[in-house]
Structure 1
Amino acid sequence: MTHWHSDSRQLSAGSHDHQLARLAACGIVLALLDAALPSPLPGIKPGLANIVTLYALATLGWHAAVWVSLLRIAGAGLLLGSLFTPGFWLSLAGGGGALLLLAAAQLLPARCFSVVSRSLLAAGGHLAGQLLLARGWLIPHDGVWLLLPPLLTAATVTGLANGLFTLKLLESAKDET
């Protein structure tokens, strides 16, 4: 945990802060990779950075997942030159939607959700957040809903793939300890 030293007035970072920073940095790198990949349709991306959020949720808990997600969105926005552009707000809305569904899942017994099912929830929440913002602000026309079938298909496929990758990552980390 971050804390102040009363005698020197310096802010020091603890091991938890270092873990969050490392995960956020990994998320930023994955977000940059995502941005570089060609897209067959606007909005269809693998969402690789979500792997880091899921990993943070599974290993460090809910608050860490929120911090990693928000730091990743802000950091990628800065590095891509898209901070406070419509793309940034879409990313934030998607991240917020994913976090809302993950928060709801946290309220239910853990045995109800695997890493893969949480990933699918997050992918659906991400899509919902982005589409609602796009419909309400960027494309105020009901035609935006015509994108739902291909986007939902892509969210399901990428959510499943990211969840399986996160599961393997967690198993690998568990084997190392």
Structure 2
Amino acid sequence: MNAARLIGTVCGVGYLRPAPGTWGSLAALPLAWLLHTLGGFPLLAIATLAVFFGGLWATRVMTAGQDNHDPSEIVIDEVAGQFTALWAISYPAWAYGIDITALWPGWIAGFLLFRLFDITKPGPVGWADRRNDPMGVMLDDVIAGMFAGVGVVIIAGISHGVLGL
């Protein structure tokens, strides 16, 4: 397996069926935990950027000369998006010395919201997806991850009474 395929499919996770995108998102969870455990939010942020740019390269290589700009086996974009969604729990855990596993509701909300926004593609997520190029493949998931992260913060605020509701 060449390097682009290894990266793009996240070591073959993209070949799992059904729902390879969901498998890719699930694979991102233990990776995010490991990165956060080893280096806190800064390492997760750096890894997110590395995954984004590595995924952009892998997607370009894997789709070169093909009509399908986003084959289902490419799931590195889901990893980038899921990592982005998890910033909403990684940063506060790192900044306030909280064990990230104590924020388990945020993990669940981040996963579910990311999948929701990645599948339904509201607003800017859909715009990025319609680019029909490798940047769109990666960008739609990062934007979905941003939406999910905001959703996690809102849910946490409501749950903890911070928003006064």
TM-score when normalising by structure 2: 0.45
Which entry has the higher C-alpha Rg, 1 or 2?
A: 1
TM-score under structure 1 length normalisation: 0.43
